[in-house]
Amino acid sequence: MLYCEKCQLVINEDKCPKCKSRNLREPLPNDFCLLTKLIPMNAGMLKDVLDQNGIPAVTSSTIGAGIAAYTASYFERIKFLVRYEDLPKATDLVNELFGASDDPESSDFPIEE
């Protein structure tokens, strides 16, 4: 497993699929890694489950608040980052809640549109 610091992705390749960088390294236990991106309704549920399992997560919106208000959050996704040491357990929890996916960057797991 290699880690792209720019994209915060853990990958099994020698080149980041998102930014195409080859400047990858072994992940450290406290590196924040992209877990998933979810619609706001599902994000609240995942945040609660992660909290209940003692997994700290950093969340951020993929769009600004002004745009989210204008589009009624239709395009908004909440990005979840967890520490590398918590990534396996957090991934299992996401898969239990929303179904399995190999690519957190493209999945958005269930998007009710």
The domain segmentation of the chain, as residue ranges, is: 30-107
Whole-model pTM? Answer: 0.78
Tens digit of pLDDT per residue, the chain (113 long)?
Answer: 999 999 999 999 999 999 999 999 999 999 999 999 998 889 999 999 999 999 999 998 876 555 545 555 556 789 999 999 999 999 999 999 988 665 555 444 443 32
Token pair of 113, please? Answer: 């549109």
CA distance 59 to 80: 5
**What tokens appear for 111 in the block?**
């998007």
Q: DSSP strand E in the chain: where?
A: 2-4, 9-11, 32-38, 57-61, 78-83
DSSP 66: H
Q: Please state which CATH number belongs to domain 30-107.
A: 3.30.70
